[in-house]
Structure 1
Amino acid sequence: MQFRYKVINEEMHVTSGVLEAVDLEAARRQAVENKWQIISLEKVSGLSSLLTMTFKNKVKYESIAAFCSQMAMMIRSGANLVRGLEILQSQMEDKRLQEVVGIIHRGVSRGDSLSVAMRECQGALPELLINLVTVGEESGNLDSVLVSMAEYYQRETFIRKKISSAAIYPVVLTVVMIGLVVLFLNFILPEITDLMKGNGQNLPAPTQMIIDSVDYLQRNGLYLILSITALVSLMVRIFKIPKYRYHLDAFLLHIPLLGKNMKDVVIARFARTLALFLHSSLPIVPILNSLENIVGNEVPRLAVVRAKDQIIRGETMALAFGGEPFFDPLVIQMMSIGEETGRMEELMVEVANHYDKRVEIGLGRLVALVEPIFTVIIGVFAGGLIIAIALPIFNMASGVSGGVK
């Protein structure tokens, strides 16, 4: 939650701003620990909340991986946790993570455990990380858990960067296309239009169509933008409803190549997270409860829910997940072997690595397919603009040569 404060600081100056805390009491404690005299402190809500939100509210996975790795080293070295967090905060380059570590440091300084202090940053840190830190503290394996989490978020970062790099080419071509349109409409087309009208000539049909389209957009552009914005907002709200989100996710999973890549990403994440929880020696039902919210897709989420119900009734994991079409036979086979041999954690890591490689290969194929498609689209579009420019010039040249004769 965000709280707007107005306080008198240590230098006896009145200052104001916004701080984050789990509730009003936690926000009040933060102010007291900073040696502030509170003038006013209230929860930010409504429009104010929207205005104070930033696009980088959550800490980047890359930064979380670095934080987990450094925390693990610090705990293994036997360093004082409060002093260690203070050092980490001063060394962090990510400003958002620096704020979060500051909140954790204040919590640990007043006697809270690391997991309790991290829960004050629930909006910024993943629930998975907080839950596993709690398990690590209870089992005495906190350093081991943090090492595993560092590896997990490094891998998630790698996959996300791969996906982002796959989108670079289409984005660049789209920007080029928009640049061509702006250049054509603002500089070239007006010159040609004025020249032809000055000569008393009619514009060719393709050029006239473009001019009419531009005129229509200029007259109705605001209404179109508002309508599209309203439609997009409505669609976003509709697809937040689980029933409709399920249909959207199911549709996306059936798109050739894209759907296969999405499925591979989900299975890799599912297997890696399952291995993490198994390493922490949690019972299987709480593990599956957490996995429901991590897969990031309604189709596998409901598959996990159904499998969990069967496991509660006494089925093995392999049989429970074997009845779900979403999960490939390879995953089910590895689950079965893992249950028989007691090597489930190790085999789930192998499954995750296998599907990570499939994601890399699949994204490479997707990029290889998208590049020529976008090249053709740009070519057709640019060709249309060239025709719209060339036809009037050709007509003028014909008119001039006809006049000379």
Structure 2
Amino acid sequence: QLRARLQEGQSLSDALAGLHEAPPVLIAAVRAGERTSNLAEALDEYLRFDELLQRLRRKVVSAAIYPALVTGLGIFITVFLLIVVMPGFARMYQNLRGKAGGLTGWLIELSLWVNAHRTATLAVVLAAAAAGIWALRSAWAPRLLARGAVVVPWLRARIHDFQLAMLYQSLALLLKGGYPMVEALEIAGRSSLGSQVGAALVRARASIMQGSRVSQALMAAGLCDEVGRRLMAAAERNGEFPRAAEVVAQMHGERFELFVERLTRIVEPALLLAVAVMVGGIVVAMYLPVFDMATRLR
């Protein structure tokens, strides 16, 4: 489609605008490059922006792979114990002492139910695994997780760091292309930055159009902290808005990466412990009647 539009004589920016999947920031960057006859540099700037976005996303996906594997292994071992191992123990206890009670009895009942619905159980497990793999590769899963994370204050703050890193990197790209701040904020607001950031951008644009300083408008809208405000205030004096936006984007990006690393260090051992407790609990429950019989014999 893109090549056909170009062959019709359309400009690259107009051809991209006709493609619904083209990001607004890319279209704006190409349009700026066409306007200044420096399209190659504009595309290079967008590639740097996209690299930052992909790096942060890869960080999240990489951090999710190990917990997903541990969780999958724990579920596989649990299902194996319930389908293959537990029925043998159930028959043994039935022959020795009748129906087992307590936790062991509950596990035996669960094992019997799972074996009675073995096909459905395996189908659910495989479907869950396929859904997990698809979610890691899809684009909507991170957005869905972000919406769920906003209810937790410390998670919401880190998601906000990711959104601000994308916002300021977009602003740096657009400002380098010659867009005024108000127009750059409007274009950046079309990106998938979340409804809260989008509403804050609308407030910031309105405040700037009414005569407020950029740093004050961004601060009042909740789009920068004190460090970001000072950087943007310095840019108001020297005109280096693109450079200031890049520094703010880097700052928020580093915060988000540090958060992902720390969360990974906490979640990985916690998941291992949870899986070990779950599997170990099943094994102990299987042998509880044996320990009970041994105690009675003594």
TM-score by length of 2: 0.82
Name the counterpart of 1:168. 65
Residue 163 and residue 248 in structure 1: after superposition, are their counterparts in 2 closer, same or farther (change >3 A)? closer
The aligned amino acid for 1:156 is L
Name the counterpart of 1:297. 194
Deviation at 1:335? 1.0
Name the counterpart of 2:133. none
Name the counterpart of 2:160. 263
Counterpart among 82, 90, 104 of residue 2 in structure 2: 104
Name the counterpart of 1:137. 34
Please list, as runs of the form range in 1=range in 2, the aligned pairs for 1:341-356 lying within 5 A after superposition: 341-356=238-253
Distance 2:268 2:36 in 1: 50
Matched, 1:309 2:209: no
String of CA shifts for 1:368-404, please: whole Å, max 9, x gaps.
11122212211221221111221134346567x58xx
SS in 2 for 1:251: coil
- Equivalent pair of 1:170/1:374 in contact (CA under 8 Å): yes
Count how many residue pairs are aligned between Structure 1 and Structure 2. Answer: 275
Distance 1:179 1:246 in 2: 28
- Equivalent pair of 1:273/1:291 in contact (CA under 8 Å): yes
String of CA shifts for 1:237-274, please: whole Å, max 9, x gaps.
xxx9xxxx99856424x1x3x33431221121111111
Deviation at 1:313? 1.2
The aligned amino acid for 1:277 is L
The aligned amino acid for 1:330 is V
Matched, 1:364 2:264: no
Residue 111 and residue 325 in structure 1: after superposition, are their counterparts in 2 closer, same or farther (change >3 A)? closer
Structure 1 unmatched runs, 5+: 1-102, 230-239
The aligned amino acid for 1:356 is G
TM-score by length of 1: 0.62
Counterpart among 101, 119, 142 of residue 17 in structure 2: 119
Name the counterpart of 1:251. 151
Deviation at 1:349? 0.9
Matched, 1:287 2:184: yes
Distance 2:107 2:224 in 1: 50
Name the counterpart of 1:189. 86
The aligned amino acid for 1:298 is S
Identity of aligned residues (%): 25
The aligned amino acid for 2:276 is G
String of CA shifts for 1:280-334, please: whole Å, max 9, x gaps.
1112222111222325222222221111111121111111112134521111111
Please list, as runs of the form range in 1=range in 2, the aligned pairs for 1:5-404 lying within 5 A after superposition: 103-123=1-21, 125-213=22-110, 250-252=150-152, 254=153, 256=154, 258-294=155-191, 296-325=193-222, 327-395=224-292
Distance 1:320 1:216 in 2: 61
Structure 2 unmatched runs, 5+: 129-139
Distance 1:201 1:322 in 2: 72
Instruction: Judging by fraction of residues, say which structure has more helix.
Output: 2
Distance 2:281 2:223 in 1: 44
Deviation at 1:132? 2.0
Distance 1:286 1:325 in 2: 19
- Equivalent pair of 1:249/1:298 in contact (CA under 8 Å): no
Instruction: Judging by fraction of residues, say which structure has more strand.
Output: 1
- Equivalent pair of 1:192/1:392 in contact (CA under 8 Å): no
Higher normalized contact order (CA 8 Å, seq sep 6+, divided by chain length): 2
Deviation at 1:162? 0.8
Distance 2:112 2:183 in 1: 60
Residue 167 and residue 351 in structure 1: after superposition, are their counterparts in 2 closer, same or farther (change >3 A)? same
